[in-house]
Amino acid sequence: MTRGRFKDIIMDSTKIKALAFDVFGTVVDWRGSIIREGKELGREKGVMDIDWGRFADAWRRGYRPAMDRVRSGEGAWENIDGLHRRILDSLLEKYSIKGLCETEIDHFNRAWHRLDPWPDAIQGLHRLRRKYICATLSNGNVALLVNMAKYAGLIWDCILSAELFRHYKPDPQVYQGAARLLGIRTDALLMVAAHKNDLLAARAAGCKTAFIPRPLEYGPENVPDIKPDPEFDITANDFNLLADQMGA
């Protein structure tokens, strides 16, 4: 629907040189993957009565306040593996999941390194890479993003992470740092995300924005805000449609 407007942008100056992708929810289905990993753990450990969807939601919900403590300066820098682990420790207690050794807890914590891509992600990214530099730009740490790409078969031109800037999104340092490392102006960087707050912060930092609604991110019963918004330069329902709109 914003085809006309976006065409103006790329025809105007072929300004967009690189795409920066949010990852959790935008590229990969974290909730479905955590449910899969939870069920596997449950089978192995004989813990069968857990609603892993709610477990996944709680794990994810803990992430924002944990990051905000780092963002506000209240907590020292800690990467997402570390933040995920603190939240997991409290959830294991809350759900009375017992009898896991350190190796097993660490393996489960790294479920976030083994997230499955949305069905359009691999092909769409492959097409977009033919024409643009495609980088991650995630709050996930570098190791998590590298391992996930390997697991999921995603190919990136560059792994960029909040960890490199010691600032979490939506701090402007992340978006501006990505453009700087890629050697381009911020307005030559298109932030691609399923979350409006990420895009609004990217836009405030000087980037272009592409909104990819992912209605199933929080499960079939919790549809997030997927209303198109003319504030964003482009809206596309998946990565293939984004590639169509961007001539890739």
Positions in the binding site for its own copies (CB under 8 A): 81, 133, 135, 141-144, 146-147, 149-150, 155, 157-159, 163-164, 181-184
**Alpha-carbon distance values, 31 to 68, 70, 232 (Å):** 21, 24, 26
Taking the least distance from each CB to its own copies, the nearer of 141 and 235 is 141
Residues 218, 194: contact at Cβ < 8 Å?
no
- CA distance readout (Å), 77 to 62, 70, 164, 189: 16, 6, 11, 26
Minimal CA–CA distance to 45: which of 117, 101, 106? 101
Which amino acid, one-letter code, is at 126? Answer: H
Nearer CB in complex with its own copies: 100/184: 184
* Nearest to its own copies of 1, 155 (CB atom): 155
Rg (the chain; Cα; Å): 18
Beta carbon of residue 198, minimum distance to its own copies (angstroms, whole number): 22
Using the minimum distance from each CB to its own copies, give the nearer residue, 28 or 47. Answer: 28
Least CB distance to its own copies at residue 196 (A): 28
Q: Rounded to the nearest whole angstrom, what is the least distance from the CB of residue 147 to its own copies in the complex?
A: 8
Q: Which is nearer to its own copies, 87 or 149 (CB)?
A: 149
Backbone angles phi, psi at 66, to 5 degrees: -65, -45
Closer to its own copies by CB, 19 or 194: give it.
Answer: 19
Shortest distance (Å) from residue 86 CB to its own copies: 17
Alpha-carbon gap, residue 64 to 33, rounded angstroms: 19
Cα distance between residue 90 and residue 96, in whole Å: 10
Q: How far is the CB of 149 from its own copies (least distance, A)?
A: 7
Q: How far apart are CA 195 and CA 199, in angstroms?
A: 7
Are the CB atoms for 108 and 224 separated by under 8 Å?
no
Task: Report whether 71 contacts 167 (CB < 8 A).
Answer: yes
CB of 168 to its own copies, least distance (A): 16
